[in-house]
Protein backbone atom coordinates (compact mmCIF):
# COMPACT_ATOMS: atom_id res chain seq x y z
CA UNK A 1 0.00 0.00 0.00
CA UNK A 2 1.41 3.35 -1.05
CA UNK A 3 0.92 5.99 1.62
CA UNK A 4 0.61 9.69 0.93
CA UNK A 5 3.30 11.77 2.57
CA UNK A 6 1.93 14.24 5.11
CA UNK A 7 4.25 17.21 5.58
CA UNK A 8 5.01 17.86 9.24
CA UNK A 9 3.51 14.56 10.40
CA UNK A 10 6.57 13.48 12.36
CA UNK A 11 6.86 16.88 14.04
CA UNK A 12 3.17 16.86 15.03
CA UNK A 13 3.51 13.38 16.51
CA UNK A 14 6.67 14.22 18.43
CA UNK A 15 5.18 17.44 19.84
CA UNK A 16 2.02 15.82 21.23
CA UNK A 17 1.71 15.25 24.96
CA UNK A 18 -0.20 12.05 24.17
CA UNK A 19 2.52 10.26 22.21
CA UNK A 20 5.26 8.21 23.85
CA UNK A 21 8.63 8.82 22.12
CA UNK A 22 10.63 6.08 23.91
CA UNK A 23 8.09 3.41 24.83
CA UNK A 24 10.76 0.87 25.86
CA UNK A 25 11.45 3.02 28.92
CA UNK A 26 7.98 2.27 30.26
CA UNK A 27 8.06 -1.51 29.90
CA UNK A 28 6.43 -2.93 33.02
CA UNK A 29 5.51 0.58 34.20
CA UNK A 30 2.64 1.66 31.94
CA UNK A 31 0.36 2.27 34.91
CA UNK A 32 2.71 5.12 35.83
CA UNK A 33 2.12 6.77 32.47
CA UNK A 34 -1.61 6.95 33.17
CA UNK A 35 -1.15 7.68 36.87
CA UNK A 36 -3.50 4.93 37.99
CA UNK A 37 -4.10 1.19 38.15
CA UNK A 38 -6.49 0.04 35.41
CA UNK A 39 -6.75 -2.67 32.75
CA UNK A 40 -4.51 -2.02 29.74
CA UNK A 41 -5.87 -2.56 26.22
CA UNK A 42 -3.82 -1.95 23.07
CA UNK A 43 -4.60 -1.74 19.37
CA UNK A 44 -1.88 -2.75 16.94
CA UNK A 45 -2.18 -0.97 13.60
CA UNK A 46 -4.63 1.65 14.85
CA UNK A 47 -4.75 3.64 11.61
CA UNK A 48 -6.33 7.06 11.99
CA UNK A 49 -7.69 6.19 15.41
CA UNK A 50 -11.45 6.16 14.90
CA UNK A 51 -11.92 2.82 16.68
CA UNK A 52 -9.65 3.34 19.67
CA UNK A 53 -10.66 6.95 20.25
CA UNK A 54 -14.33 5.95 20.43
CA UNK A 55 -13.49 3.00 22.69
CA UNK A 56 -11.47 5.16 25.08
CA UNK A 57 -14.28 7.70 25.27
CA UNK A 58 -16.83 4.99 26.05
CA UNK A 59 -14.69 3.24 28.67
CA UNK A 60 -12.87 5.80 30.84
CA UNK A 61 -12.08 3.07 33.38
CA UNK A 62 -9.66 1.36 30.95
CA UNK A 63 -6.22 2.55 29.80
CA UNK A 64 -5.66 2.38 26.04
CA UNK A 65 -2.55 2.49 23.87
CA UNK A 66 -2.67 2.76 20.10
CA UNK A 67 0.25 1.53 18.00
CA UNK A 68 0.86 2.55 14.39
CA UNK A 69 4.08 2.44 12.41
CA UNK A 70 3.26 4.97 9.69
CA UNK A 71 3.61 8.63 10.65
CA UNK A 72 1.37 9.76 7.78
CA UNK A 73 -1.46 7.68 9.28
CA UNK A 74 -0.79 8.09 13.00
CA UNK A 75 -0.74 11.87 12.71
CA UNK A 76 -4.51 11.84 12.14
CA UNK A 77 -5.06 9.97 15.39
CA UNK A 78 -2.69 12.35 17.17
CA UNK A 79 -4.54 15.40 15.87
CA UNK A 80 -7.84 13.91 17.02
CA UNK A 81 -6.47 13.12 20.48
CA UNK A 82 -4.91 16.58 20.77
CA UNK A 83 -8.44 17.95 20.44
CA UNK A 84 -10.23 15.44 22.67
CA UNK A 85 -7.49 15.08 25.31
CA UNK A 86 -8.78 11.73 26.53
CA UNK A 87 -6.78 11.03 29.72
CA UNK A 88 -6.89 7.24 29.20
CA UNK A 89 -5.38 7.16 25.69
CA UNK A 90 -1.73 7.25 24.60
CA UNK A 91 -0.21 6.71 21.15
CA UNK A 92 3.02 5.10 19.96
CA UNK A 93 4.71 5.18 16.55
CA UNK A 94 6.49 1.85 16.24
CA UNK A 95 6.62 -1.45 14.40
CA UNK A 96 4.73 -4.30 16.05
CA UNK A 97 7.82 -6.50 15.75
CA UNK A 98 9.17 -4.73 18.83
CA UNK A 99 6.11 -5.22 21.01
CA UNK A 100 7.86 -7.46 23.55
CA UNK A 101 10.45 -4.71 24.06
CA UNK A 102 7.68 -2.33 25.10
CA UNK A 103 5.33 -4.40 27.24
CA UNK A 104 6.25 -6.73 30.09
CA UNK A 105 4.96 -10.23 30.76
CA UNK A 106 1.27 -10.16 31.69
CA UNK A 107 1.03 -6.39 31.36
CA UNK A 108 -1.62 -6.25 28.60
CA UNK A 109 -5.21 -7.35 29.16
CA UNK A 110 -6.52 -7.14 25.60
CA UNK A 111 -5.15 -6.72 22.08
CA UNK A 112 -7.21 -5.40 19.17
CA UNK A 113 -6.25 -6.19 15.57
CA UNK A 114 -8.49 -4.43 13.06
CA UNK A 115 -8.21 -4.89 9.29
CA UNK A 116 -4.52 -5.68 9.48
CA UNK A 117 -2.34 -5.73 6.37
CA UNK A 118 -2.98 -9.18 4.79
CA UNK A 119 0.55 -9.48 3.36
CA UNK A 120 -0.86 -11.67 0.55
CA UNK A 121 2.43 -13.14 -0.65
CA UNK A 122 3.24 -16.41 1.08
CA UNK A 123 6.84 -15.42 1.72
CA UNK A 124 5.53 -12.57 3.88
CA UNK A 125 3.23 -14.77 6.00
CA UNK A 126 5.31 -14.22 9.15
CA UNK A 127 4.56 -10.50 8.95
CA UNK A 128 0.81 -11.02 9.34
CA UNK A 129 -0.30 -9.85 12.77
CA UNK A 130 -2.19 -13.10 13.35
CA UNK A 131 0.70 -15.38 12.38
CA UNK A 132 2.08 -17.97 14.79
CA UNK A 133 5.13 -15.75 15.20
CA UNK A 134 3.03 -12.81 16.37
CA UNK A 135 0.82 -14.98 18.55
CA UNK A 136 4.01 -16.05 20.35
CA UNK A 137 4.80 -12.41 20.97
CA UNK A 138 1.32 -11.80 22.34
CA UNK A 139 1.76 -14.76 24.70
CA UNK A 140 4.68 -12.88 26.23
CA UNK A 141 2.71 -9.76 27.07
CA UNK A 142 -0.89 -10.87 27.67
CA UNK A 143 -2.28 -11.37 31.15
CA UNK A 144 -3.34 -14.90 32.04
CA UNK A 145 -6.99 -14.22 31.19
CA UNK A 146 -6.19 -11.75 28.37
CA UNK A 147 -7.39 -12.17 24.81
CA UNK A 148 -7.06 -10.96 21.24
CA UNK A 149 -9.89 -9.58 19.11
CA UNK A 150 -9.40 -9.64 15.35
CA UNK A 151 -11.62 -8.18 12.60
CA UNK A 152 -11.13 -8.31 8.83
CA UNK A 153 -13.05 -8.48 5.56
CA UNK A 154 -10.24 -10.51 3.98
CA UNK A 155 -11.43 -14.12 3.82
CA UNK A 156 -8.02 -15.70 3.01
CA UNK A 157 -6.45 -13.83 5.92
CA UNK A 158 -9.25 -14.97 8.22
CA UNK A 159 -8.71 -18.59 7.20
CA UNK A 160 -4.97 -18.20 7.73
CA UNK A 161 -5.62 -16.72 11.17
CA UNK A 162 -7.86 -19.61 12.21
CA UNK A 163 -5.17 -22.07 11.17
CA UNK A 164 -2.44 -20.06 12.93
CA UNK A 165 -4.46 -19.98 16.16
CA UNK A 166 -4.87 -23.76 16.05
CA UNK A 167 -1.19 -24.30 15.26
CA UNK A 168 -0.14 -22.02 18.12
CA UNK A 169 -2.44 -23.83 20.54
CA UNK A 170 -4.76 -20.89 21.17
CA UNK A 171 -8.42 -21.27 22.10
CA UNK A 172 -11.20 -19.68 20.03
CA UNK A 173 -13.75 -17.97 22.25
CA UNK A 174 -15.95 -16.67 19.43
CA UNK A 175 -15.98 -16.73 15.63
CA UNK A 176 -18.25 -15.16 13.02
CA UNK A 177 -17.98 -14.66 9.28
CA UNK A 178 -20.70 -12.02 9.20
CA UNK A 179 -20.26 -9.76 12.21
CA UNK A 180 -22.92 -7.20 11.37
CA UNK A 181 -25.58 -9.92 11.28
CA UNK A 182 -24.36 -11.65 14.43
CA UNK A 183 -26.54 -10.23 17.20
CA UNK A 184 -24.30 -11.29 20.06
CA UNK A 185 -20.88 -10.31 18.69
CA UNK A 186 -22.07 -7.13 17.01
CA UNK A 187 -23.49 -5.72 20.23
CA UNK A 188 -21.47 -2.61 21.10
CA UNK A 189 -19.31 -3.01 17.98
CA UNK A 190 -17.34 0.09 17.06
CA UNK A 191 -16.53 0.32 13.37
CA UNK A 192 -13.16 1.37 12.03
CA UNK A 193 -12.74 3.52 8.93
CA UNK A 194 -12.03 0.41 6.86
CA UNK A 195 -14.98 -1.45 8.35
CA UNK A 196 -17.36 1.32 7.33
CA UNK A 197 -15.95 1.35 3.81
CA UNK A 198 -15.86 -2.40 3.26
CA UNK A 199 -19.28 -3.09 4.76
CA UNK A 200 -20.77 -0.33 2.59
CA UNK A 201 -19.38 -2.24 -0.39
CA UNK A 202 -21.27 -5.33 0.74
CA UNK A 203 -18.28 -7.20 2.15
CA UNK A 204 -19.11 -9.33 5.21
CA UNK A 205 -16.91 -8.63 8.22
CA UNK A 206 -15.24 -11.56 9.97
CA UNK A 207 -14.33 -11.53 13.63
CA UNK A 208 -12.64 -13.89 16.06
CA UNK A 209 -11.83 -13.65 19.76
CA UNK A 210 -9.08 -15.91 20.99
CA UNK A 211 -7.05 -16.55 24.12
CA UNK A 212 -4.20 -18.71 25.27
CA UNK A 213 -5.32 -22.26 26.01
Q: Extract the annotated binding site.
A: 43, 68, 95, 117, 121, 153, 192-195
Bind-site residues for S-adenosyl-L-methionine = 43, 68, 95, 117
CA dihedral (36, 61, 81, 96) in degrees, to 10, reads 80
- Tell me the C-alpha distance between 179 and 152, whole Å: 10
Residue 208, burial from CB neighbour count under 10 angstroms (0-12, 13-18, 19+)? buried
Residue 62 Cα distances to 31, 48, 53, 56, angstroms: 11, 20, 12, 7
Q: Which of 97, 101, 117, 178 is catalytic?
A: 117
- Tell me the C-alpha distance between 177 and 181, whole Å: 9
**117 is annotated as an active-site residue:** yes
Q: Tell me the DSSP string of 81-111.
A: HHHH--TTEEEEE--GGGHHHHS-TT-EEEE
Could you tell me if residue 150 is left (phi over 0), alpha (psi between -120 and 50 degrees) or otherwise beta?
Answer: beta
- Tell me the C-alpha distance between 165 and 60, whole Å: 31
Bind-site residues for substrate = 121, 153, 192-195
Q: Which residues are catalytic?
A: 117
Amino acid sequence: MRLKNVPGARETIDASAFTIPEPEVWKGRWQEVFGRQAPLHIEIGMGKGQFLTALAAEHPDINYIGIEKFSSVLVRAVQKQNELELPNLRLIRMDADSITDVFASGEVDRIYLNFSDPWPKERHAKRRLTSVEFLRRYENILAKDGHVEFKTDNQPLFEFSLEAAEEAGWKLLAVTRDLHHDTALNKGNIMTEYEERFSAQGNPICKMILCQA
